[in-house]
Structure 1
Amino acid sequence: MKISELARKAKVSTKAVRYYESLGLVTPVRLDNGYRDYSADDLRRVREIRALSRLGISVDRTRPFLECLDVGHEHADDCPSSLAGYRAAIDELTTRIDALTERRTELIARLRSAAARNFPLSPRDQERTKMTNLYELPAGLPVPEDDGAARHLAATAVPELTLPSTTGETVRLHDLGEGRHVLYVFPLIGTPDVDLPRGWDDIPGARGCTPEACDFRDHYEDLTAAGAASVHGMSVQTTDYLRGVVDRLRLPYAMLSDTEFRLAKALELPTFEAGGERFYRRLTFVIRAGKIEHVFYPIFPPNEHAQQVLAWLKSNPA
């Protein structure tokens, strides 16, 4: 067969076939008219070279496999020398993977370090450092509407539930102690090195967890002065992850982790799905004497929500 036909059947370029021939890996017969005539064996060799090359084995290192075919074996890797070729290729890939993994780990560490170092701490710090104001939400976010999913919660007893806290201890939601306690539930706090689920900004009420956490941080003293005995944030994210959030944002309050949606099951709380995962819808409880005294739902804008809670506490003194 002609070189064009061989290239078409083997799914390679004619240039590649000529290169294999220059290395002595393919040896076509020369016809009287000067044209090359490739056999079925040549086609098989070219296909084998192509398959091995796609696995990362360089063309010049396919010789042991081709020699295995030459001595009559059905498969190019039926010989010990072929297996040695596999091992050598695997060792090289392992070395490259280890090096790339080390580089990736260092890059992630540098990214997280830079993000934590440069994260805006307060409006004054943002102005001083001329950094992006993360308190400002993107324009045009959809406003969540009241779908009635939280109307049954007012005056409801808090279930007997204990959740892990970023302090390393556990918190009994049904026994928070005397006074009023603020528990704000949010979907997901992201980090600069992790993308948010696709379409996150298009989901009403999803975007804004970091500004909300920072708003509670900046008004924490005001909230306690207005009668809040404690403030907690809660999401389905793990305690270790939330502990990093507390450190990065320098939050004066603890975060609770409810990875199994235990509170949602007990109180039939509203949730939503995004990117193949399930999240809490944003809502806030004021808890007193083991009961839900007040519910904020829906919440918008989240970057002003702590101030909304503060206004309610002041307007409704205990």
Structure 2
Amino acid sequence: MRIGELARRAGVTTKAVRYYESLGLLAPVRLANGYRDYDEHDVRLTREIRALSLLGIPVEATRPFLECLALGHRHADDCPAALAGYRDAIDELTRRIEGLTARRAALVTHLHRAAHRSSRLSPAEGEEAMTDHTSLPAGLPVPEDDGAAAHLRGARMPRLELRATDGATVSLDALGAGRTVLYVYPLTGRPGTDLPEGWNSIPGARGCTVEACGFRDHHQDLLAAGAARVYGLSGQDRDYQREVTERLRLPFQMLSDPARSLGRALGLPTFTTGGLTLYKRLTLIVKDSVIEHVFYPIFPPDRHAAQVLAWLGDNAHRP
């Protein structure tokens, strides 16, 4: 067959076919008139080169796969040399991903610095290109007690299992002996990621990172005051929460509840912004599978861990 037909059947261009020939990957028969004559084996080789190229394997590195076919194997990757070709391609992609990840992190850092350096807006205005999640701007609106958590005290925890950031499954109706501090929050910000529009103007929304840092810094004190364990909980997925746990070096686990199953079971208060339905900030003290105390509303969030610590101290001997 002529080169045009080969290219059409293999899904490549005639230019690509000539390039494969220049590398010695294809060796068509020459007719008496000088024209190249391709056969079905050439079609198979060309298709294999194309398929491997789509996987990210350079054309020049497809030779071991083609040689495997030439040896009579049914599949081009039945040979050890072909498997080594896969590994080499994976290693190269890994290096490229690591390099791109490092470049992205550097760009985020430069963007963060430049945004803060050149911005004329104060954090309280909430319009800066990047947000410092480790501090609270002045003038945040104070949430009011709307009674949305009044029914929770004395309620039993539902039979519900949620995934933690360490991969374990936590049964909320069997948290274990002693008191559990379960703080529920709307959404943790991440460097380089914009918060929902108007976030600072929503009463009680801003401050998830500083709240988490407060529980981190008071963690040992909370345990000493009678808390058997501390959990954070939000509707964010486990990978998102795991990044936050690692970045903030939290000594406790976060629970992921993207379906807001706990909210439906207990009737937890929520709010909606930017198309997202999020938990309102509150904290449950759970003892023997029963909600013993509820903190709601919570403000300011950066002082909340100290409030929980004080409550534990005041109720240390409470039966």
Provide the rounded CA distance (Å) in 2 between the counterparts of 1:113 and 1:178.
Answer: 44
Cα contact 1:190–1:196 (8 A) shared by 2 = yes
Instruction: State the match for 1:153 in structure 2.
Output: 152
Q: Is 2:277 aligned against 1:282?
A: no
Cα contact 1:217–1:251 (8 A) shared by 2 = yes
Larger radius of gyration: 1
Instruction: State the match for 2:232 in structure 1.
Output: 233
- Give the CA RMSD over aligned residues: 2.3
Cα contact 1:165–1:171 (8 A) shared by 2 = yes
Cα contact 2:185–2:232 (8 A) shared by 1 = yes
Runs of 4+ in 1 over 6 A off after TM superposition: 101-104, 112-115
- Letter of the 1:137 counterpart: L
Deviation at 1:243, TM superposition (A): 0.5
Instruction: State the match for 1:108 in structure 2.
Output: 104
Deviations 1:204-235 (A, max 9, x none): 00000000000000000000000000000000
Cα contact 2:133–2:189 (8 A) shared by 1 = no
Instruction: State the match for 1:201 in structure 2.
Output: 200
Q: Secondary structure at 2:195's aligned position in 1?
A: coil
Q: Secondary structure at 1:214's aligned position in 2?
A: helix
Deviations 1:179-202 (A, max 9, x none): 000000000001111100000000
- Letter of the 1:153 counterpart: L
Instruction: State the match for 1:246 in structure 2.
Output: 245
Deviations 1:68-101 (A, max 9, x none): xxxxxxxxxxxxxxxxxxxxxxxxxxxxxxxxx9
Provide the rounded CA distance (Å) in 2 between the counterparts of 1:114 and 1:239.
Answer: 28
Deviation at 1:114, TM superposition (A): 8.8
Provide the rounded CA distance (Å) in 2 between the counterparts of 1:133 and 1:235.
Answer: 20
Give the TM-score, by structure 2 length: 0.60
Deviation at 1:203, TM superposition (A): 0.2
Cα contact 2:133–2:191 (8 A) shared by 1 = no
Instruction: State the match for 1:262 in structure 2.
Output: 261
Instruction: State the match for 1:168 in structure 2.
Output: 167
- Letter of the 2:273 counterpart: A
Relative to 1, partners in 2 of residues 1:108 and 1:274: Cα closer, same or farther, differing over 3 Å?
farther
Provide the rounded CA distance (Å) in 2 between the counterparts of 1:272 and 1:242.
Answer: 20
Provide the rounded CA distance (Å) in 2 between the counterparts of 1:135 and 1:184.
Answer: 18
Cα contact 1:233–1:254 (8 A) shared by 2 = yes
Relative to 1, partners in 2 of residues 1:133 and 1:275: Cα closer, same or farther, differing over 3 Å?
closer
Provide the rounded CA distance (Å) in 2 between the counterparts of 1:248 and 1:199.
Answer: 25
- Letter of the 1:268 counterpart: G
Q: Is 2:306 aligned against 1:310?
A: no
- Letter of the 1:221 counterpart: Q
Provide the rounded CA distance (Å) in 2 between the counterparts of 1:235 and 1:133.
Answer: 20
Relative to 1, partners in 2 of residues 1:112 and 1:285: Cα closer, same or farther, differing over 3 Å?
farther
Deviations 1:229-265 (A, max 9, x none): 0000000000011011000000000000000010010
Relative to 1, partners in 2 of residues 1:257 and 1:157: Cα closer, same or farther, differing over 3 Å?
same
Deviations 1:115-145 (A, max 9, x none): 9xxxxxxxxxxxxxxxx98653100000000
- Letter of the 2:291 counterpart: I
- Letter of the 1:253 counterpart: F
Deviation at 1:274, TM superposition (A): 1.0
Matches within 5 A, 1:81-100: none
Provide the rounded CA distance (Å) in 2 between the counterparts of 1:236 and 1:298.
Answer: 18
Provide the rounded CA distance (Å) in 2 between the counterparts of 1:218 and 1:264.
Answer: 27
- Letter of the 1:201 counterpart: N
Deviation at 1:108, TM superposition (A): 2.7
Deviation at 1:171, TM superposition (A): 0.5
Alignment coverage as a number of residue pairs: 202
Q: Secondary structure at 2:229's aligned position in 1?
A: strand
Instruction: State the match for 2:74 in structure 1.
Output: none
Cα contact 1:108–1:193 (8 A) shared by 2 = no
- Letter of the 2:175 counterpart: L
Q: Is 2:212 aligned against 1:213?
A: yes
Provide the rounded CA distance (Å) in 1 between the counterparts of 2:132 and 2:191.
Answer: 14
Relative to 1, partners in 2 of residues 1:247 and 1:114: Cα closer, same or farther, differing over 3 Å?
farther
Matches within 5 A, 1:176-191: 176-191=175-190
Provide the rounded CA distance (Å) in 2 between the counterparts of 1:244 and 1:187.
Answer: 16
Q: Secondary structure at 1:174's aligned position in 2?
A: coil
Provide the rounded CA distance (Å) in 2 between the counterparts of 1:114 and 1:221.
Answer: 36
Provide the rounded CA distance (Å) in 2 between the counterparts of 1:114 and 1:215.
Answer: 28
Provide the rounded CA distance (Å) in 1 between the counterparts of 2:260 and 2:309.
Answer: 27
Runs (5+) with no aligned partner, structure 2 = 1-95, 112-130
Provide the rounded CA distance (Å) in 2 between the counterparts of 1:112 and 1:231.
Answer: 32
Cα contact 1:111–1:193 (8 A) shared by 2 = no
Relative to 1, partners in 2 of residues 1:104 and 1:301: Cα closer, same or farther, differing over 3 Å?
same
Cα contact 1:135–1:303 (8 A) shared by 2 = no
